[in-house]
């Protein structure tokens, strides 16, 4: 039997997930959708033969076995808590919630429930290149890790994008990736800003984010959100005996007009599309088999939120800021 | 409703396709399987809840909407003709049949039926890199094509692998790819053999296959089947204004022990796994929508068979051999 | 007529320069050598038909038209000042002198002389790849510069190598390169240290040096001196419209044993040998034509020394340290 | 003492060699020049303080210790024979002479003299990348060689360039390189022509030259002389256990406008400039030390000429043509 899923939020990412669940993946069907704009919800629902319900009702509906939360970030806490209360698996797009304390309330609810129900949408853990990088590291190919150099470059950002979004929306991917890659918490953050790009439109763009991990590994991340030339994600880990880096892009190599050129993708859809597929495939598979999700947990969502808060403070003060995790990690989130 | 598929042949490739149909793709289910070894068929059937039937019965069964033929090559003609007789879509692993004349009988039957029912499993057309290469060519990025240089290297081959298999099983992928890439027929073939590798075990390995296309494009293909170092597929098209090549492999780049290294896959599963997924996804989608399949046709299977026959003659005689296509391509196979 | 050169110091670098002057370059001959160990000096002198003189006498000798100082760093100030006093062009291996104040005395002497006589041996300015990078930047290909990411990795270092040497001997190359590349002074320095490598032998290895330039450009430099895998120099400039990086090494590309590998040189001789040739070729050419040297000046030597002093303080205190340049740059050092 | 050289021919290549001898290399001076256009000769002579003499007189002049022949190909035989008669070392630009029989007369004269005096200007043997490739092969890194795939692409050619020049002037570099790389003679040649490029201007461009070596190694060479995008020299050797290829060009790597780009040089000067330097440095060094030249010999010049003749016949007949070497190689040309 297919897993019966309800999707809350039918904006861009919600619709993309619905397409994925109905035309790419096996073993899952979308039985209900919700959106603040019920006409959009109805339109989307019609294309996949799903019911339209208000978000809370969708979560409670006995025909819905698991929930995807793809709505506006400010609503995540409420929906995820409701899903936990209903004892239903819930996949929540990033961020888990909009503050560390809100995230912590979700962690507490899940710990109270006694089993993992929540997966957060940090899809880089499902990217084949990052997975190969982690596998290389874990097999000891380059020795114990010491540093990682990253770059996260967007060709451009929409007009509503703010300075804090460089941390909350953009750098947060490297925050989660670093925690996962090295199996460690971020303990302190610095943000250094060179002179801003003429393309920056008032943003502190580019910036250099420096993460100190609990194991002593140092991660530096260049964040450029008006890099113009394309969407480019880079990462090189320095180990004691060598380095391992994400490969360069390029299905094809051109030789023309005086250059040997590998195309760089224009945006994240081209770069991480297969990771989104793999992320939901893994989640569906876990939920169908009755296992806890193996992807990013509520604790991961909380930790990312706490690091983001520290990074925002580091950006505004120019100082090194320590990350304050309110409590030790509950045993529920130990790796098995 | 899911498409109900029957699979004939539960050897390695058959089982892999069953896994793909049941755990990777959406909108399809495996309802029946057949194999000469009925105990294997029963074992496989049990894992996916399918019935076990003899091949002919499976094709006729009203619960089976479409058929996959994954059995031994010598049986393909019979099963594909039966599927056409039953008016059912049929996906046939390569080769379509074991001789040009057998392939031509299938073409005739399909033309007689009046619509395309057959797709042949030349999966390279579904590989993202080859597709990007073709897209580059078709957009005129490098100008009109003149030559293509290819290499097809296997780390090794099984003991039962024969000299003719270098053409029938291995080079045939480049034959189909060339016809598709350049929209042209192969009109003549040469095979040149340097001294054989010490690893060749009696095979004429490596060989250089040279294809002349009807448009004047020349394609050279190095075939190495004991290349040892890995599975490596290369291709560079020379156009009037530049070249376009398949990118090098490598999700990660290592720097260690005096070298900057990108891993090369050990076998074709790692290299073309996603292409197999895409191939069947496309076929399922076409069949479900009632469209003719857009993948390699029975005519493509026939043409590949005719080129292989010419290449075998070129190998044994050392001469340039012209490809004899018995008849013009029936209009059924015109691109739409 | 050949330029008649005297060489002070016949250790490793001195002998290498003598080889270069006598067998690689045109228009120059070595007429005298000096060394604290006169037997070594005599041995070297015999191979090239040069006289042996004490350093001070060599500088004064009327047969010596120009001087190379390749002796121990602690003696540089004395010899360079003597050469200026004698009005003779002098090429001094790095460092110009062992403290900012000593460097400043040389600057003052040269300003007093009224013309440039001193060139300092920062050879990266003569490396073809760095020159191509600077040319790319100067032509505006990537827009105005914002950041630069560098890595300077040695496979290993000798037993006598100290923590301060990571700055004075190693990172100083990136300091001079950054000043030259961006035409700006370094105004502040940070040094961040992750946990040390198990190969570090007590050194704070690796470290991340962060340079703030007067133009707002930020340069980060990973310094690893026990990187094991080879000698690797990396640099990528982020501009407003793109990036430009040093190409990867590799005259050849190997495909073997499951990998596509480009060799990485074992040490700096392989990487920068041609730059040493070009550096002295340019110096000989300038001196012969009566022009001031166009390479790194005494002011560049002083600035590098001041940045090194700040970086050592940053390393020991963990704080951001501003670079104190005692005076504005004298007009003698303006670019022409 | 400097080696005193006379240069015959002050056209483009002659002037470039004079520049090289007088401003790049050590231990050599140009004392005399000759040219059919004596006013050009005088102009060039004045810049380096050399005498102007007729070619024959230059060779006989007792002040000239060694000769460079850079004149029009049709005059090479006469000048090289005169130098041998005078017992003087002679460096002759390619081709050694304009026919196999003319080359053979030079071989006979040199054998009669009893020692090697002639070096031919096949400079690829001095290219660092080809040398690294040969070193890789000779060290057994990829096992015994089986095939080599080459491409020789010029962006364009002058109006006077003819079809035969594709073989005599262009492909001849790969002919000499193959003989040197594999230590074997070319025994047969094929030339295959796809449809000609729209840029070809009447030339059979591109063509595929296929060389069979005496050891059974097969070398294929794409010759494109209107490739437009740049000057590109490629080569990959297939060995029994792996492959080794010339690295891609690129001192810098750009990321801009949707692509990661390595520049490709516009012409051969940029690609092989250092090889020309190394070639003459080696020749000067050998002559000064009284050793026979270690570069390409008169026999190499003869063999290249014989292969070119066979290739021209293969081009005009479309057939495989065997190379006819008139005699076994004289012992004078055995490697030492």
Q: Judge whether C84 and C21 are in contact, CB under 8 Å.
A: no
- For residue D335, is pLDDT > 80? no
What local confidence, expressed as pLDDT, does residue D336 receive? 54
Residue C175 buriedness (CB in 10 A; 0-12 / 13-18 / 19+): buried
The count of CB pairs under 8 A between chains A and D is: 56
Q: Give the whole-number percent of chain D exceeding pLDDT 70.
A: 99
Question: What is the rounded distance in angstroms from the CA atom of residue A202 to the CA atom of residue A209?
Answer: 18
Question: What is the rounded distance in angstroms from the CA atom of residue C132 to the CA atom of residue C109?
Answer: 34
Residues of A in contact with B24 (CB under 8 A): 26, 281
Question: What is the rounded distance in angstroms from the CA atom of residue D59 to the CA atom of residue D76?
Answer: 13
Residues of A in contact with B251 (CB under 8 A): 128-129, 132-133, 246-247
- For residue A131, is pLDDT > 70? yes
How many CB atoms lie under 10 A from the CB of residue C78? 16
Question: What is the rounded distance in angstroms from the CA atom of residue C45 to the CA atom of residue B14?
Answer: 79
For the segment D295-319, the average pLDDT, to the nearest whole number, is: 98
Is A254–B243 a contact, with Cβ atoms under 8 angstroms apart? Answer: yes
Is D262–A260 a contact, with Cβ atoms under 8 angstroms apart? Answer: yes
Please report all neighbours of C, defined by 3+ CB atom pairs within 8 A.
A, B, D
Rounded to a whole number of angstroms, the distance between the first and last alpha carbons of chain D is 28
- For residue C57, is pLDDT > 70? yes
Across A143-179, b (16+ Cβ under 10 Å) vs e yields: bebbbbbbbbbbbebeeebebebbbbbbbbbbbbbbb
How many CB atoms lie under 10 A from the CB of residue B288? 16
Is A228–C241 a contact, with Cβ atoms under 8 angstroms apart? Answer: yes
User: Cα-flanking dihedrals φ and ψ of residue C291, to 5°?
Assistant: -90, 155
Q: Which of A321, A95, A94, A326 is nearest to A210 (CA)?
A: A321
Rounded to a whole number of angstroms, the distance between the first and last alpha carbons of chain A is 28
Identify the closest residue of chain C to B262 by CA–CA distance. C260
How many CB atoms lie under 10 A from the CB of residue D202? 8
User: Cα-flanking dihedrals φ and ψ of residue B224, to 5°?
Assistant: -125, 120
For the segment A50-72, the average pLDDT, to the nearest whole number, is: 97
**C267: contact with B, CB 8 A cutoff:** no
Written as six digits, the tokens of B209 are 């296959």
Identify the band that residue A326 occupies on the pLDDT scale cut at 50, 70 and 90: confident
What tens-digit pLDDT sequence spans chain B (336 residues)? 689 999 999 999 999 999 999 999 988 999 999 999 999 999 999 999 999 999 999 999 999 999 999 999 999 999 999 999 999 999 999 999 999 999 999 999 999 999 999 999 999 999 999 999 999 999 999 999 999 999 999 999 999 999 999 999 999 999 999 999 999 999 999 999 999 999 999 999 999 999 999 999 999 999 999 999 999 999 999 999 999 999 987 899 999 999 999 999 999 988 999 999 999 999 999 999 999 999 999 999 999 999 999 999 999 999 999 999 987 899 999 975
Out of 3.40.1350.10, 3.30.360.10, 3.20.20.105, 3.90.550.10, select the CATH number for domain D125-267+304-322.
3.30.360.10
Is D206–B143 a contact, with Cβ atoms under 8 angstroms apart? Answer: no
**B144: contact with A, CB 8 A cutoff:** no
Residues of C in contact with B228 (CB under 8 A): 256
Identify the closest residue of chain B to A243 by CA–CA distance. B255
Runs of H (alpha helix) within chain A: 12-19, 38-48, 55-60, 76-85, 100-113, 128-138, 163-165, 172-182, 268-288, 298-317
What local confidence, expressed as pLDDT, does residue D123 receive? 97
For the segment D159-187, the average pLDDT, to the nearest whole number, is: 97
Question: What is the rounded distance in angstroms from the CA atom of residue D278 to the CA atom of residue D13?
Answer: 15
Q: Looking at the partner chain, which of B25, B141, B257 has a beta carbon nearest the beta carbon of A254?
A: B141
For the segment C289-316, the average pLDDT, to the nearest whole number, is: 97
Q: Estimate the crossing angle of helix D128-138 against helix D268-288, to 10 degrees.
A: 70
Q: Looking at the partner chain, which of D147, D197, D212 has a beta carbon nearest the beta carbon of B146?
A: D197
Q: Judge whether A110 and A90 are in contact, CB under 8 Å.
A: no
**C250: contact with A, CB 8 A cutoff:** no
**C139: contact with D, CB 8 A cutoff:** no
Measure A202 CA to nearest chain C CA, in Å: 14
Least confident of A85-94, D310-319, D322-331: D322-331
- For residue C127, is pLDDT > 90? yes
For the segment C178-184, the average pLDDT, to the nearest whole number, is: 98
Instruction: Give chain C's mean pLDDT.
Output: 96
Is A256–B247 a contact, with Cβ atoms under 8 angstroms apart? Answer: no
Residues of A in contact with B19 (CB under 8 A): none
Q: Which helix (H) or strand (E) holds D224?
A: strand D218-224
Residues D111-123 pLDDT 10s = 999 999 999 999 9
Q: Which of B267, B293, B299, B298 is nearest to B280 (CA)?
A: B293
Q: Looking at the partner chain, which of C24, C250, C262 has a beta carbon nearest the beta carbon of D26?
A: C24
Mutate which: B26, B263, B289, vs A, most A CBs within 10 A:
B26
Mutate which: B249, B257, B261, vs C, most C CBs within 10 A:
B261
- For residue A91, is pLDDT > 70? yes
Q: Where are the domains of chain C?
A: 3-123+274-297, 125-267+304-322
Measure D104 CA to nearest chain B CA, in Å: 29
Identify the band that residue C301 occupies on the pLDDT scale cut at 50, 70 and 90: very high
What local confidence, expressed as pLDDT, does residue A269 receive? 87
What local confidence, expressed as pLDDT, does residue D162 receive? 95
Q: Judge whether B190 and B167 are in contact, CB under 8 Å.
A: no
What local confidence, expressed as pLDDT, does residue B319 receive? 96
What local confidence, expressed as pLDDT, does residue B63 receive? 97
What CATH class does D3-123+274-297 carry? Answer: alpha beta
Q: Which ipTM was obtained for this model?
A: 0.95
Rg (CA), chain B: 20
- For residue A336, is pLDDT > 60? no
Residues D46-101 pLDDT 10s = 999 999 999 999 999 999 999 999 999 999 999 999 999 999 999 999 999 999 99
Instruction: Give chain A's mean pLDDT.
Output: 96
């Amino acid at each position: 039997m297919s897993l019966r899923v309800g999707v809350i939020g039918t904006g861009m990412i919600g619709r993309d997930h619905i397409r994925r669940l109905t035309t790419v993946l096996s073993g899952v069907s979308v039985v209900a959708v919700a959106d603040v704009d019920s006409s959009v919800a109805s339109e989307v629902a019609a294309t996949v033969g799903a019911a339209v319900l208000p978000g809370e009702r969708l979560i409670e509906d006995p025909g819905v076995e698991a929930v995807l939360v793809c709505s506006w970030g400010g609503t995540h806490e409420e929906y995820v808590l409701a899903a936990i209360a209903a004892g239903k698996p819930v996949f929540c797009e990033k961020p888990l919630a909009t503050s560390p304390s809100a995230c912590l309330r979700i962690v507490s609810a899940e710990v109270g429930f006694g089993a993992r129900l929540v997966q957060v949408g940090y899809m880089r853990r499902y990217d084949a290149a990052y997975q190969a990088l982690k596998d290389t590291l874990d097999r000891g190919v380059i020795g114990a890790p010491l540093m990682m150099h990253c770059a996260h470059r967007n060709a451009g950002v929409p007009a509503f994008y703010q300075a804090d979004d460089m941390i909350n929306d953009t750098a947060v991917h490297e925050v989660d990736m670093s925690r996962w890659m090295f199996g460690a918490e971020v303990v302190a953050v610095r943000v250094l800003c060179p002179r801003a790009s003429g393309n920056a439109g008032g943003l502190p763009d580019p910036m250099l984010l420096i993460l100190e991990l609990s194991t002593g590994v140092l991660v530096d991340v260049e964040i450029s959100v008006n890099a113009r030339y394309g969407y480019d994600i880079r990462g090189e880990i320095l180990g004691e005996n060598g380095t391992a880096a994400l490969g360069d892009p390029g299905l094809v190599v051109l030789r023309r007009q005086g250059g040997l050129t590998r195309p760089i993708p224009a945006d994240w859809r081209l770069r991480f599309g297969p990771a989104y597929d793999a992320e939901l495939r893994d989640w569906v598979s876990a939920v169908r088999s009755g296992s806890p999700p193996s992807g990013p947990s509520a604790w991961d969502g909380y930790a990312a939120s706490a690091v983001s808060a520290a990074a925002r403070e580091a950006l505004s003060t120019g100082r090194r800021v320590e990350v304050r995790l309110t409590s030790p990690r509950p045993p529920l989130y130990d790796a098995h």
